[in-house]
Structure 1
Amino acid sequence: MADSQPKPRYTPGVVKEEDIVRIPDMKGNVKEVMEVEGMVVPCDVIRSGHVPDMRENVKKIRDMKCRDDDIFLCAYMRSGTHWVWEITNMLTTGKLDYLTRPKESAMMEFHYPEEFDEMPSRRILNTHFPLRLLPTEVKEKKLKVIFVQRNPKDVTVSSYHFLQKGKLMPFKGTFEEFFMLFTTLGLMVSWFDYTLEAEKAIKDKELDIHLIYYEELKKNPVATIKRLSEFLGTDCDDAYITKVAEMCSFKGMKKANEEVKDIEKFLFEKDIMKGHYRKGEIGDWKNMMTVAQSEQFDEIFADKMKDCSFKFDFLK
């Protein structure tokens, strides 16, 4: 029997002809997108009804009423959001239990803010939106923000494989075509712009941000999780943190995704969850990028990120 097809959960957005920007790809096909708060959003996402109309939701998110103990987990797509979300839950609850609901159930672009009202505290809300689109109260109340970084070459390759299976923002072209897309427009927002904006927020101390590098979490999980625990003010000893690191290994997370998540309550998320865990390795970009693509990426990176203080581990 075929899987049940999820029905739209929201009223599909109407896109006016004058708001559409048509971008041709390398094969002459045309992608219809529109600009929303500086993001390039596929029109199909607006029309789908699977997520709230972003044009309305970004305004609602900005005005969202936050609790004093809310945590906001921010990362560019495919940078380790699920991983840190599970870790943060174990640190804040003091329980070595995987969440039964998928990460998308607490994802801000997938829901209107009022849908989070029933969530128990401490709420861990996550987003791939740029930091400037966080609720105004995050800055005013100095709420905790976790920012996860991953080297952009691995982000590129991981995003390509993920979106090949995706239904909300599917990409059916070649990796060469995706490479060009990622290094120019990015995925809704340029990775380079997204990262530089976050760096400025950290330098200017606009937000109470804790920075986590994906690669450091992979290589030194216990020490990295301990620093996160201290930032969150959770009372976790070294023995507990070691158990969290063990449970949130790639193998453990993948198994939980397949066996623990209550996917029947989240049919739309079910399709997305299928592509979450592929390899989780550092340097997997070397198995996909050609030498020419790697060199081209290095040139773009050197130009756009020349003044950036973040240090990325590409495992060259």
Structure 2
Amino acid sequence: MKLPVFTAFGAAIAYVTSHFLTLLRIVWLPALLLTGVTFYLMPAAIEAQMSIAMTEPGAPPDAAVFAAIAESFKWTGVIYLASAIFYPMLIAGVLKHLLRGAAPRLPFYLQFGADEVFVLIAYILLMVMLMIAGFAGFLAVMVVGVIGAVLSEAAGGLVVLLLMIAFVVAMIWFSLRLSLIFPASVSERTVGVVQSWNATKGAAWSLFFYWFLWMMVLAFLGGAYAVFSAGDMFSYIPEMIAAGGDEAAIAEIEQRMLEAQMGMFDRSRPGFWVHAGATYIYMMLNMVLWSAAAGVAWRYLAGEERA
């Protein structure tokens, strides 16, 4: 079944605008808690990364470097743990309202039940499957390319190019087939790998254009967020390009980038609250739009046309 791209896109926009206040009640607290945890712990993680970056290029790691690596892993691990708790809440909360009409009775949504567990497991499985498929596909391309190069250098290069294009197309197709895994999980109350795969059969092209429209919307929001909250970081890009293969220059630029990033999380600076507020708003909008887009597409492809 093909997805009616523009109809579904319009339905998702209509859903978000008509239920905006309810969606805000669902996402405001989990997003606030996740933003708070991230901004509270990120300085410690960046400080550890700065200690690692201060190591001389090519120098063997010592006890201080290993301690800094452990410190970095500790704090980033806590941030990832918080993400594993609050992101499923954001996704499941929106999808439960869209697919079941379940709205929070309180002024906020904060629970981690079966739906959140299904979303979390689905995300982990999705990442594992994409990594395995990506690694296997890339390895196959390299093996065939080496064989082709042995037979003919020119033919080998052409074969690798064609196989890389085929590999990218295959990965996009695979991702599209599983792009509805979260609404499938919430709708069917299971880990929705099989359900997403079945629902998207024959809909790859329409899903491609559907998600392309949403990527344009979300890229605009993401670009605005990046410029508004971290515009100074873009100034380092030309320097990194100019550094070329100079390891010492690259290390020095990376150190300054980490210092600038640390400044973004310094609560004593006025820009901290701008960055935190922009991150909070962007997180809410991003989660609502992604979840709504996936949920509406699921309803159409699963036969529930009235989104």
Instruction: Report the TM-score, using the length of structure 1 for normalisation.
Output: 0.22
Higher helix share: 2
Higher strand share: 1
Higher RCO (Cα < 8 Å, 6 or more apart) = 2
